Amino acid sequence: MYNSYKYIDPDFTYTYPETKILRNLLDITDPEVLLFVESGAVTKRLQELYENPIKIKGIDSLFEIHRHLFQDIYVWAGKKRVVEISKDGKQFFPTFHFDNAFRYIDQLITDFKKIPKDNKKMLAEKLGEILDNVNYLHPFREGNGRTQREFLRLLALEKGLILNLNPPDNKSIYEKYMKGTIESDLKTLTALIFELIDTNGL
């Protein structure tokens, strides 16, 4: 249900010709093996960010996170996509307008940083808005979801908040997250983030 992506990539920029397998640094051509290896590498790199979190300065930090997570697998880790992507018939943000989107998201991050740490409601609303816009931007050919969830976690952490949008084996949270991002449902995203934010984690 959630995997009906389509890509406009006639030159096979990201995939091995006539396949859907992403070109990778290890030249793995078995999709199941690639999924397994990628998952393990990203999990390791995520743990590094838990141990040594980076400071979110703006949209550039999103690219820094992606580069860190996928550096072992893809040569284009941390680089903006050069193909158009759609999902369930809805196109993500067009590449030729990326610069406008970057400026807008930078402003949202600036606004978030101005919100008092104890205003959980406003923080959740702004995080929901940032997540919605970053998801619509979908700046990478692969790894957008994992990158944006880590981006939100690190943003919340700067306010002394614990936010885990990807808890293990929690189907309810996953479904709310997918509904909110796919349908651009700010109400659902804000409610989910408000529910998950832990103000006593630090």
What digits encode the pLDDT tens for the residues 105-148? 999 999 999 999 999 999 999 999 999 999 999 999 999 999 99
Structure-token pair, residue 44: 């390791």
Q: What is the reported pLDDT for 100?
A: 97
Contacts of residue 33, Cβ cutoff 8 Å, sequence gap at least 6: none
Q: What is the reported pLDDT for 199?
A: 72
Where are the chain's structural domains?
5-196
Q: What is the reported pLDDT for 88?
A: 82
Q: What is the reported pLDDT for 68?
A: 98
pTM, rounded to two decimals: 0.94
Give Cα 23 to chain centroid, integer Å: 20
| Superfamily of structural domain 5-196 | Fido-like domain (1.10.3290.10)
Q: How many whole angstroms separate alpha carbon 46 and alpha carbon 59?
A: 19
Q: What is the reported pLDDT for 3?
A: 57
* pLDDT under 50: residue ranges of the chain: 1-2, 201-202
Q: How many whole angstroms separate alpha carbon 113 and alpha carbon 157?
A: 11
Residue carrying structure tokens 């084996």 = 169
Q: What is the reported pLDDT for 1?
A: 36
Phi, psi of 189 (to 5 degrees): -65, -45
Q: What is the reported pLDDT for 2?
A: 46
- Short-list 126, 130, 133, CA closest to 92: 133
Quickly list H helices, the chain.
31-51, 59-70, 98-114, 120-137, 144-157, 171-182, 186-196
Q: What is the reported pLDDT for 200?
A: 61
